[in-house]
Amino acid sequence: MKEQVIQVRDRALAACQEADSVRELEDVRVRFLGKKGELTQILRGMGQLSPEERPVMGKLVNEVREEVERALAERGEILAEAELTRRLSAETLDLTLPGRRPQRGTVHPVNLILAELERVFVSMGFEVVEGPEVETDYYNFEALNVPPDHPARDMQDTFYLDGGFLLRSQTSPVQVRVMEKQAPPVRIICPGKVYRRDSDATHTPMFHQVEGLVVDKGVTLGDLKGTLMELSRVLYGDRKVRFRPSFFPFTEPSAEMDVACVVCEGTGCRVCKGSGWLEVLGCGMVHPKVFEMVGYDPDEVTGFAFGLGVERFAMTRYGIEDIRWLYENDLRFLRQFHGR
Ligand code: DAH
C-alpha cells in the first residue's frame, strides 16, 4: 500500500508539471484530490489496515496530499501568470493610432440667423417671449383688426384645423397675448414658426418669423426706424435697405423694409422677381383698434411693431437663392455653414 501511495504521488507531481493551462491543472486536482480522486480512494481503503499500520499510513497519505497541493499551487501560479501575459499582449491597445473623428453637425442657417437676431434685440433691451403655433381665429386675425372678409383669411393662405383652430399664419398674435397679460411698457420679440399654404423659390409652407413690439408713452415712427436701421447695420453692414409704405390691418402707418437683392445686387433677377429688392420685414405703428382690443388706452400710449421673415434674412445674409434649399437637408448645402 505504501508503494501505491508513492506511485500516486509521483504521477500526481508529474501531471502537475505537464498541465499546460489553469484548466488542465484543475483536472489534475480533481483526478487525485477530488471526492473520487486516487488519493481519496486510498484514504477510504484504510479501514482494512491493522490498527498499527493505520496511523503510519494516515501520516504518509496526508504528507503526500500536502505535497501534491503545494505542487498544484506552485504550478497554478506559473500558469495563471503565463495566461495573463498572453492575454495582455493579445489585447494591447495601440494608443498612438489616430482616433476616428465623429462627424460633427453644423448649426442650421435659420438657427444661426435666429440666434443673431435675438442677440441684436436683447442688446437693445428686448425680452424674448414665445406663443402657441396652434392659434384661434381671434388671436391670429380678429384681435389684430383683420376683418372677416380680409384676403389673409383666405383658405388659400391659412391652414385651418378642426374645432375653430388654425396654424398661426404670423407671429403677430403673440403681440395680443403679451398685451392682454401685461401693462405697458412692453418691449418684446417673439421668434417662432408660422404656416402658410405657399410654396415656391421664396416661400415654404412653414417658415420662421420674429415679431417685435414696443409700447410706451411717446413711442414714435422715428423709434421704429432707428431700431430697424440698427438691426440692418448689424446684420448687413452697408448693404442698401429701403423703407416702402405698405398696408397691414394692425398698423397705421405701415411700411415694409427691403434689402438690395443678394443675387443680382439690384439689377433684377429671378429671386427678386426683377425688382432688385427683397422684402425682409413688415412694420408700422400699432393701430389704435389693436390697443382697444387688449384694453390699452390709445390716447395714453403709442407703439411700433414689426414682423420679419427669418428665412429671408438668412437668404439675404448668406446669398441663398432658393428658400427650399433651407429645408432639403442636403449636406453639401448645410456643411457650408460650418463654423459660422
Ligand atoms: N404679420 C405680418 C406678416 O406676416 C408682418 C408684420 C407686419 C408684423 C407689420 C407686424 C407689423 O408686427 O407691424 O406679413
Q: How far is CA 303 from the centre of its chain?
A: 37
Question: Ligand 1 centre and the CA of 48: distance in Å?
Answer: 112
CA distance 297 to 291: 6
Q: How many CB atoms lie within 10 A of CB 171?
A: 25
> In which residue are the cell numbers 398661426 written?
168
pLDDT at 287: 98
Is the CB of residue 258 less than 8 Å from the CB of residue 244? yes
Tens digit of each residue's pLDDT, the chain (340 residues)? 788 888 988 898 888 889 888 899 899 899 988 888 888 888 888 888 888 888 888 888 888 889 989 988 999 998 899 889 888 888 888 888 888 888 888 899 999 999 999 999 999 999 999 999 999 999 999 999 998 888 767 766 899 999 989 999 999 999 999 999 999 999 999 999 999 988 777 788 999 999 999 999 999 999 999 999 999 999 888 888 999 999 999 999 999 999 888 778 888 888 788 899 988 999 999 999 999 999 999 999 999 999 999 998 898 888 888 888 999 999 999 999 987 7
CA distance 84 to 169: 70
> In which residue are the cell numbers 429671386 written?
271
> In which residue are the cell numbers 465623429 written?
102
User: Helix, strand, or coil here: 18?
Assistant: helix
Pairing assessment for the beta strands 206-216 and 241-248 based on DSSP bridges: unpaired
C-alpha closest to that of 121 among 306, 331, 339: 306
CA distance 144 to 136: 12
CA distance 262 to 321: 8
CA distance 39 to 69: 12
Question: Ligand 1 centre and the CA of 168: distance in Å?
Answer: 12
Pocket probe for ligand 1: among 145, 170, 204, the residue whose CB has the most ligand atoms within 8 Å is 170
CA distance 24 to 18: 9
CA distance 214 to 305: 6
C-alpha closest to that of 174 among 144, 217, 208: 144
Pocket probe for ligand 1: among 166, 306, 308, 313, the residue whose CB has the most ligand atoms within 8 Å is 306
CA distance 8 to 1: 11
Residue ID of nearest Cα to ligand 1 atom 5:
307
Question: Ligand 1 centre and the CA of 306: distance in Å?
Answer: 5
CA distance 212 to 189: 4
User: Helix, strand, or coil here: 200?
Assistant: strand
pLDDT at 278: 87
Ligand 1 proximity of 219 Cβ (cutoff 6 Å): no
> Rounded to whole angstroms, what are the CA distances from 9 to 28, 76, 306?
12, 17, 100
Ligand 1 proximity of 140 Cβ (cutoff 6 Å): no
> In which residue are the cell numbers 390716447 written?
299
Is the CB of residue 204 less than 8 Å from the CB of residue 323? yes
Which H helix or E strand runs over 209?
A: strand 206-216
Residue ID of nearest Cα to ligand 1 atom 12:
306
Ligand 1 proximity of 282 Cβ (cutoff 6 Å): yes
Ligand 1 proximity of 192 Cβ (cutoff 6 Å): no
Residue ID of nearest Cα to ligand 1 atom 7:
282
Pocket probe for ligand 1: among 177, 208, 283, the residue whose CB has the most ligand atoms within 8 Å is 283
Rounded to 5°, angle at Cα 274 from 268 and 275: 85
Which H helix or E strand runs over 271?
A: none
Rounded to 5°, angle at Cα 194 from 192 and 197: 165
Ligand 1 proximity of 170 Cβ (cutoff 6 Å): yes
Question: Ligand 1 centre and the CA of 337: distance in Å?
Answer: 29
CA distance 15 to 30: 12
C-alpha closest to that of 33 among 76, 75, 64: 64
pLDDT at 270: 81
Pairing assessment for the beta strands 165-167 and 134-136 based on DSSP bridges: antiparallel
> Rounded to whole angstroms, what are the CA distances from 325 to 160, 255, 315?
26, 28, 10
Q: Which is the closest atom of ligand 1 to the Cα of 209?
A: 4
Q: Where are the alpha helices (DSSP H) in 91-185?
A: 109-123, 137-140, 173-181
